[in-house]
Amino acid sequence: MQPNAAPDDMSLRQLSAWAEGQARRLATSFGLDPAAGSDNAYFALAQTVKLGEEVGELHAEVLGALRYHRSDKAGQYGTDTLGGELADVMVCLALLAQILNVDLAGAVSAKIEHLEARNRHATLTS
């Protein structure tokens, strides 16, 4: 692995740590640094729009993977491009979580616990 390369099996905590640095870099490069008195809402909204764009690209990849696309688009979609779009969505989500000060790893863990408890309850009552 290269010195600055991401690990092959990155945890949500590692992704969040990386996103923290990226969010700072992006905020500085676009003049949106809250530490400099900039409005964080604009940065959060811009990242939300970017997330929407990436989800739209993911939609196209899923349709392509399922072969629900025009015949002239055959060959544009594959496992690598689908994986890339899934990764883009995750990166955008991690950046948005950082911008809004959300502990993404904690939120995912809490959600999984909630879903598991709901599944256990459903199993017991059926």
pLDDT at 108: 96
* Domain with residues 12-28+38-125, CATH architecture: Orthogonal Bundle (1.10)
Domains in the chain: boundaries? 12-28+38-125
pLDDT at 32: 79
- Whether 95 contacts 17, CB under 8 Å: no
For the stretch 47-64, pLDDT in tens is 999 999 999 999 999 988
pLDDT-flagged residues of the chain (< 50): 1
In angstroms, the first-to-last Cα distance of the chain is 49
DSSP H helical ranges for the chain: 12-29, 40-65, 79-99, 104-125
79-109: b (≥16 Cβ within 10 Å) or e: eeebeebeebbbbbbbbbbbbeeeebbeeee
